[in-house]
Amino acid sequence: MATATGLGRPRSLPALPLVGSLLQLAGHPQLHLRLWRLQGQYGSLYALWMGSHYVVVVNSYRHAREVLLKKGKDFAGRPRTVTTDLLSRGGKDIAFASYGPLWKFQRKLVHTALSMFGEGSLALERIICREAASLCETLSAAQDTALDMAPELTRAVTNVVCSLCFNSSYRRGDPEFEAMLEYSQGIVDTVAKESLVDIFPWLQIFPNKDLTLLKKCLQVRDQLLQQKFTEHKEAFCGDTVKDLMDALLQVRLSAENSSPLEPGLELTDDHLLMTVGDIFGAGVETTTTVLKWAVLYLLHYPEIQRKIQEEMDHKIGLVRHPHLSDRPLLPYLEATISEVLRIRPVSPLLIPHVSLADTSIGEYSIPKGARVIINLWSVHHDEKEWDKPEEFNPGRFLDEQGQHIHSPSPSYLPFGAGIRVCLGKVLAKMELFLFLAWVLQRFTLECPEDQPLPSLEGKFGVVLQVQKFQVKARLREAWRAAS
């Protein structure tokens, strides 16, 4: 089809009235894999219809770069869907809000607050190390028994984000933490997975199990957030800023005092609440998921685990614990983290983008309002860019001497890129490094003898989830001897 720009539209999957191309997608719960495989028939850039929504699927780095970087502003929108509207109270957060002056202001605020409290600050390193020490204690206590590490990893990561956002943390078995684990799982299971209710919003008038669960979980989350927010508002005096919540309150106060904002541009309580909800939700679910993938891959590749430990013994030894400043000393650990983020991207389809103007990708015309899905799975498994992409091989991220980390292909975007790039990249990398370094310095992680190696297949959703598995954490002989 020729368009106003003279360019043709991308080739489209067949589409029926009302349902669109759903017949081609139905029965494939792993949407990222289905969209990856459809390239064989339709090429790396193709279109489809989800109900009445025109969707463009990008599977190559060349086109992803155009969408995210070269024409970032053209594609900075987000779709509104039933589930993300519920999660973010109609897009009052950052991740699911469309592009606009208020979103820009919110994003900048959080960026500043994060750099003030987190990135580069010794205080944050201290918090992460405190949680890493507590995680190691738990592993020590459970030594040699099969353990589901997921709740322990989640508590460690949650406490980092909790300290950052609310200057508080949870102890083991805290009922509020257990409630949080449960509601968060419910949200991850039901939100933003291109489910039917998001494609056909009118379906929400019918009883729907997923939607009922989401609403119930959001009620619990909102109550928790509201309680923290009220406590902070009551205690806030404007002088001392203890955490991100205080920082947001302070910036709002000074914005109100200096110049009255245009109507519609003010940060309401809902905006602050949803913003903290994003940082909290993203902060916990993403980093925990990567840690679980990393542990799972180490069970499958004991020789890689051994190599990380040898590097650590050699460069750090067993008398002191690892610091952030050790990152350049441990390239093999860094390369392993990079490889985990490549082979199992946390967010395999990013968050869908929306074109804000008539524009183009490559030689194709894209109309305003199109949803653009960047298939990061395809970008990270592209055989033209990666040697044996299915293979877990940290060495691909190292130079010939194995001393420095580098990417052999630009086709690597675990945190996205451009205007909508992840806000927590620096924080996440600090946590991944420190948690893994602490644990591997002391323990060898093994699959319990009586169990098969757990599956490496992910479960598609708003994050690429790991299936439940158990681990035996064995205290290393070298560590035992040294201490």
x-or-dash pattern for ligand PLO, window 302-341, by CB under 6 A?
A: ----------------------------------------
d(CA 64, CA 70): 9
Residue 188 interacts with ligand PLO (CB under 6 A): yes or no: yes
Among 53, 65, 107, 228, binds ligand HEM (CB under 6 A): 107
Q: Are 84 and 51 in contact (CB under 8 A)?
A: no
Amino acid at 437: A
**CB 202 to ligand PLO: min, Å:** 24
d(CA 423, CA 114): 9
Query: Which of ligand PLO, ligand HEM, none sits in contact with 188, Cβ below 5 to 8 A by type?
Result: ligand PLO
Structure tokens belonging to residue 111: 């960026």
Residue nearest to ligand PLO (CB): 281
**Contact stretch for ligand PLO (CB under 6 A) within 245-253, 267-275, 278-286, 317-325:** 278-286
Among 45, 94, 276, 439, binds ligand HEM (CB under 6 A): 94
Residue 278 interacts with ligand PLO (CB under 6 A): yes or no: yes
Closest by alpha carbon to 473, among 449, 444, 439, 453?
A: 444
- CA neighbours within 13 Å on the CB side: how many for 451? 17
The secondary structure of residue 474, as a DSSP letter, is E
Residue 346 interacts with ligand HEM (CB under 6 A): yes or no: yes
x-or-dash pattern for ligand HEM, window 248-287, by CB under 6 A?
A: ------------------------------xx--xx--xx
Q: How far is CA 124 from CA 59, 87, 128, in A?
A: 37, 28, 6
What residues have CB less than 8 Å from 88, skipping those under 6 apart? 95, 96, 97, 274, 277, 278
Residue 428 interacts with ligand HEM (CB under 6 A): yes or no: yes
**CB 105 to ligand HEM: min, Å:** 12
Residue 184 interacts with ligand PLO (CB under 6 A): yes or no: yes
Residue nearest to ligand HEM (CB): 424
Among 86, 462, 471, 473, binds ligand PLO (CB under 6 A): 462
Element (DSSP H or E) covering residue 359 = strand 359-361
Residue 290 interacts with ligand HEM (CB under 6 A): yes or no: yes
Residue 433 interacts with ligand HEM (CB under 6 A): yes or no: no
**CB 357 to ligand PLO: min, Å:** 24
Residue 87 interacts with ligand HEM (CB under 6 A): yes or no: no
Residue 187 interacts with ligand PLO (CB under 6 A): yes or no: yes
Q: Are 427 and 114 in contact (CB under 8 A)?
A: yes
Among 198, 243, 285, 334, binds ligand PLO (CB under 6 A): 285
d(CA 482, CA 63): 52
Give the footprint of ligand PLO on residues 220-249 (CB under 6 A). Answer: 221
Among 414, 433, 469, 473, binds ligand HEM (CB under 6 A): 414
Query: Which of ligand PLO, ligand HEM, none sits in contact with 427, Cβ below 5 to 8 A by type?
Result: ligand HEM
Residue 32 interacts with ligand HEM (CB under 6 A): yes or no: no
Residue 282 interacts with ligand PLO (CB under 6 A): yes or no: yes
Q: Are 371 and 53 in contact (CB under 8 A)?
A: yes
Query: Which of ligand PLO, ligand HEM, none sits in contact with 428, Cβ below 5 to 8 A by type?
Result: ligand HEM
Among 191, 211, 312, 333, binds ligand PLO (CB under 6 A): 191
Structure tokens belonging to residue 357: 């103007």
Residue 436 interacts with ligand HEM (CB under 6 A): yes or no: no
The CA-CA-CA angle for residues 39, 44, 47, to 5°, reads: 85
Give per-residue burial for 321-335: e unless 16+ CB within 10 Å, then b.
Answer: bbebebbebbbbbbb
Structure tokens belonging to residue 270: 């809902």
Nearest 10 degrees: Cα torsion 389, 291, 195, 206: 160
How is 74-126 classified by DSSP, letter by letter?
Answer: TT-B----HHHHHHTTTT-SSTTSPSSHHHHHHHHHHHHHHHHHTTT-HHHHH
Residue 422 interacts with ligand HEM (CB under 6 A): yes or no: yes
Binding site for ligand HEM (CB under 6 A): 94-95, 107, 278-279, 282-283, 286-287, 290, 341, 346-347, 350-351, 414-416, 420, 422-424, 427-428
